[in-house]
Amino acid sequence: MPRYVMTVRCADGPGIVHTFTAALLEAHGNILDNAQYGDPLTEQFCMRTRFESPITDVAEVRRILQPAVHTFGATFTVRDEDAHQRVLIMVSKFDHCLLDLLYRWQAGELPIEIPLVVSNHPDCAELCARYGVPYLHLPVTKDTKVQQEAVLRGLIAEHGIDFVVLARYMQVLSEQFCADFAGRIINIHHSFLPGFKGARPYQQAYERGVKMIGATAHLVTADLDEGPIIEQGVVTVDHSMDATTLSIMGRDVERQVLSRAVRQQAEDRLFLIGHRVVVFH
C-alpha cells in the first residue's frame, strides 16, 4: 500500500486532529505515525501525519483532504513517501559536508534527490563527478551577486528544487533571496550558536578556551547566523588542541548535524513557527 506524509499548519483550536483524521478515514487511510504541537507563544498548531492508503494517486488523496484544509485555513502538504524531495546543494571549497551528503544519498540513507550541486569554486567538481551528480561552477563577487542569484533562481525553478542546502557555502545570500526562499534554505554553521557567530569560529573557540565545540544547522534568514535553529551537536575538547585540531574535530559534528537536518527537512519533520523550528523526531 502507498504511504503518504501529510503536514498541516494553522491557528490552534479544537477539532483539528479530529477533522483531519475523519478525512483520512474517508481516504481509507491508516495512521502509522502522528505528531503535533500547539505553540503557546504564537498559538500556531502544526501536525505531521504518516499514513498508508489504498489510493495510489496522491492527487486523489489531496482532493479528499481538501475540505479539512479549507475548514481551518491551513497550510497543507501531502506527499507520496517514495517521491523524494529535490535538493540543490551549494558548496565552496571544504568538501566534507558535501561528501557526507553524497555518500548517504548514494547509500540510500537519505531520502532525497540531488539534481545539481552549485559552487562558487571549481574544487568539488571531481567529487561530484564520482557520484554522477551535475556540478555547476557559478562564481560570484560582490558586484555579480544579483546576477548569480538570478541564475540560481532559474536553476531552482528548472530543476524543481524543493530546498537548498548550504554545505559550507561561504558566501552570504542576498536579503531578497533569503526572503523569497524562507524556510527552504538550510545552512550549517561551524559553531554552537549563539556562540561564535561570524568568521573563524574555531579560532574564536580556541582563544576563548571553551571545553566543547559545536555545530548548528539552521534555516537561513537575512540576519546572518541568527536563523532559526534546526539541530545542534557538540564534541568535548581540551586545552591542548589548537584551532586547526578543533576544526578537524568540528568537521565530524558539522557532517552529522547537517545530515540530520537535511533528513528532517526531507521527511517533512520541520515547521518554522515564529522564530523557532519545531522538529518532530
Residues with a known catalytic role: 225
Selected from 1, 30, 63, 77, the binder of a second copy by CB under 8 A is 30
Least Å distance between CB 262 and a second copy? 14
Shortest separation between residue 252's beta carbon and a second copy, angstroms = 6
Is residue 146 within 8 A of residue 169, CB to CB? The reply is no
Place of cell 545539481: 116
Environment class of 234 (CB within 10 Å of its CB; exposed 0-12, middle 13-18, buried 19+): middle
d(CA 86, CA 89): 10
208-230 exposure pattern, b = at least 16 Cβ within 10 A, e = fewer: eebeebbbbbbbbbeeebebbbb
Residue 222 in contact with a second copy, rule: CB under 8 A: no
- The rounded distance, in Å, linking the Cα atoms of 277 and 271 is 6
Give the interface segment with a second copy, choosing from 22-30, 57-65, 68-76, 169-177 (CB under 8 A): 22-30
Q: Is the dihedral of CA 234, 262, 178, 48 positive or negative?
A: negative
Q: Which of 5, 6, 24, 69 binds a second copy (CB under 8 A)?
A: 24
CA 133 vs CA 20, 102, 113, 117: distances in Å = 39, 9, 10, 7
Interface pick for a second copy out of 59, 73, 107, 157 (rule CB under 8 A): 107
Minimum distance, C-beta of residue 87 to a second copy, in the bound complex (Å): 18
Query: Who's near 226: CB < 8 A, 6+ residues apart?
Result: 194, 197
| Beta-bridge partner residues of 10 | 45
Phi-psi group of 139: left, alpha or beta (phi > 0 → left; psi -120 to 50 → alpha; rest → beta): beta
* Candidates 60-68, 71-79, 156-164, 232-240; binding stretch for a second copy (CB under 8 A): 232-240
* CA dist list (Å): 13 to 9, 90, 163, 271: 12, 40, 30, 18
Under rule CB under 8 A, which residues in 87-106 are in contact with a second copy?
96, 99, 103
Rule CB under 8 A: choose which of 57, 175, 223, 242 binds a second copy.
242
Please identify, using beta-carbon distances, which residue of 36 and 71 lies nearer to a second copy. Answer: 36
Single residue of 10, 36, 123, 149 touching a second copy by CB under 8 A: 36
Asked if 117 is part of the footprint of a second copy (rule: CB under 8 A), the reply reads no
| 86 interacts with a second copy by CB under 8 A | no
Residue 217 C-beta: closest distance to a second copy, Å: 9
Q: Which residues of this protein are in contact with a second copy, per CB under 8 A?
A: 13-18, 21-22, 24-25, 28-40, 96, 99, 103, 107, 109, 130, 192-196, 207-212, 214, 228-234, 238-240, 242, 248, 251-252, 256, 273, 275-279, 281
